[in-house]
Amino acid sequence: MKTCDIAIIGLGLMGSAALRELARRGADVLGFDPLAIGEARGSSHGSCRIFRRFNFESEAYTALSDRAFALWRALEAESHQTILMPSAILEAGPAGCPSVRKSRAAAVAAGGPITGPRTGREANAAYGAFNLPDDWDVVVHEAGGILLAERAMRALRAGVEHRVAREAAQIAPMPEGIRILTASGEVMARRVIVSAGPWIAGLVPGLTRHVKVTRQAVGWFAPARPETTRYGECPIFILKAARGMIYGFPDFEGRGVKAAQHDHGPAVGPDEWDPPVSDAELATTSAMLAELVPGAAGAITDREVCLYTNTAQADVVADDGGEFVIDRLPADPRIIVASPCSGHGAKFATAIGAMLADMALDPKVKAVAAFRLDRFSSFA
């Protein structure tokens, strides 16, 4: 039987980053994934993702952002192309808005000076696209960016395609190794990284009750005032209002303003992609743009479905849910599980790839506490 030291099941941004990193370190590694780069399935497809240095989810993510940022820059240097376009990020919400407060606190904790608009009134004066209520809280971070997701994926996979089998795989742990079963045959691996995005519970059934896959509707809007939404003039924006949280990008690709709701859509299975995104699914995004970012509001010109894999709240330690899972399976530490989504994992992919490589190469490397599986009693 064919063998390899490390197999990676699932080559979205996470698995591809791990594959590249392991190959770079000289490991005997193979990756498995039935999808071609760019196919609109899973969570990593599409042109862009937001890179935030300061994360309202937790200030503990700043160090991971910084590590990822350095590695994105290294990937740009190696691939001779831009992968992360610098952009300011404006976050706003009603006075006292927790996400704005937490994001500002993360910047303060990292010693970052915050000099931009602090209220809705100041933001409206600084950026022509916006019409925020005057008394809203605002924080603007300069240390953000537009991660060119598909380009990043191609760069991560450059030079390692010969290690990729374009096939779905299943895993069967045996005493002598982990059998990787595909339609065309079997491979025996010493260790396995399972980074199968929304399909992960199918490979690691114990995760089923701790992850929820949701359908997220994304739209592109023809800006009413294009001169206000151009890249460089309009920041990335994340707006929290009573009816929901939306995010949007400046029109950096001449395709309109990409915007969507961050609130979870309906729960779906990983293979449920129909029907196409409807106007109704984009109604909250459209209404919030019309009210708060009128420069960007306009007809919907394009739409896309993407899946979030959301991690549940822990029951052994206190967390808010949405923390990633990146850990060895307690019952079989040869199997490393990576589910870093909850709608904000892409920006960390290079750092998570390096983390997965560390764990796969050295059994003594411990998982980051917040990402451990034993925060759930079923794995404790």
Binding site for ligand FAD (CB under 6 A): 9-15, 32-35, 42-44, 49-50, 168-169, 195-199, 203, 216, 218, 260, 306-308, 340-341, 343-347
| Residue whose CB is less far from ligand FAD, 42 or 295 | 42
Dist CA 211 CA 215 (whole Å): 13
Question: Least distance to ligand FAD from the beta carbon of 122, Å?
Answer: 25
Question: Least distance to ligand FAD from the beta carbon of 38, Å?
Answer: 11
3-state secondary structure 284-314: HHHHHHHHHCCCCCCCEEEEEEEEEEEECCC
* Amino acid (1-letter code) at residue 254: G
| Residue whose CB is less far from ligand FAD, 124 or 344 | 344
Tokens of 321: 């849910």
Question: Least distance to ligand FAD from the beta carbon of 95, Å?
Answer: 26
| Residue whose CB is less far from ligand FAD, 124 or 281 | 281
SS3 (DSSP) at 341: coil
Question: Least distance to ligand FAD from the beta carbon of 96, Å?
Answer: 25
Per the CB < 8 A criterion, the answer to whether 79 and 343 are in contact is no
Q: What angle do CA 201, 9, 52 make, to 5 degrees?
A: 80
| DSSP-derived secondary structure for 5-23 | EEEEE--SHHHHHHHHHHH
| Residue whose CB is less far from ligand FAD, 56 or 199 | 199
Question: Least distance to ligand FAD from the beta carbon of 35, Å?
Answer: 4
| Residue whose CB is less far from ligand FAD, 140 or 224 | 140
Question: Least distance to ligand FAD from the beta carbon of 74, Å?
Answer: 18
Judged on CB neighbours under 10 Å (0-12, 13-18, 19+), 254 is exposed
Q: Rounded to 5 degrees, what are φ and ψ at 92? A: -150, 155
| Residue whose CB is less far from ligand FAD, 174 or 318 | 174
| Residue whose CB is less far from ligand FAD, 312 or 316 | 312
| Residue whose CB is less far from ligand FAD, 87 or 216 | 216
Looking at residue 209, the DSSP 8-state letter turns out to be: G
Strand partners, 332: 329
Question: Least distance to ligand FAD from the beta carbon of 216, Å?
Answer: 4
Judged on CB neighbours under 10 Å (0-12, 13-18, 19+), 77 is exposed
Dist CA 133 CA 291 (whole Å): 10
Question: Least distance to ligand FAD from the beta carbon of 121, Å?
Answer: 27
Question: Least distance to ligand FAD from the beta carbon of 28, Å?
Answer: 19
Q: 14, 372, 351, 376: which is closest to 193 by C-alpha?
A: 14
* Amino acid (1-letter code) at residue 66: D
Q: Rounded to 5 degrees, what are φ and ψ at 84? A: -125, 105
Tokens of 176: 């002598």
Dist CA 157 CA 117 (whole Å): 40
| Residue whose CB is less far from ligand FAD, 198 or 223 | 198
